[in-house]
Amino acid sequence: MSIQIDPHQRRWWLGMGDLLAQGASHSALKLERVHLAIADETFGLLERVPVARPWSRLVRVSHRGISRVSYRSVSLAAAGLGFAIAALSPDPDPDQAVDRDQEA
């Protein structure tokens, strides 16, 4: 059983996939910044407590490294998906207008 999709629908779905992949990639990097900013405030408070200072620094460095790897892995995977979708997309037909509003 094979489902046939016309070229217009295929381009639409590939465009939606590309949009979602780009959004996920960009969002992951923005969320990383927010996450680390919130964590920095917490670790800053812990560094003011003399007893917690040495452990706080160690945990802070570990937390930043793990968080960066995690968020950037998600961003990289989403960007890779975007490149895969772009590879599946047909080359634009120069005979077709890209912007239908310009035809009028």
What residue segments make up the domains of the chain, in order of their start?
23-88
Q: Would you say 43 and 60 are in contact if contact means Cβ atoms under 8 Å apart?
A: yes
pLDDT tens digits for range 14-55: 889 999 999 999 999 999 999 999 999 999 999 999 999 999
Query: Please, which pLDDT band fits residue 90 given cuts at 50, 70 and 90?
Result: confident
Round the CA-based radius of gyration of the chain to a whole number and report it.
22
Assigned token pair, 62: 């570990």
First-to-final CA distance of the chain: 41
**Prediction pTM value:** 0.74
Token pair listed for 99: 């912007």
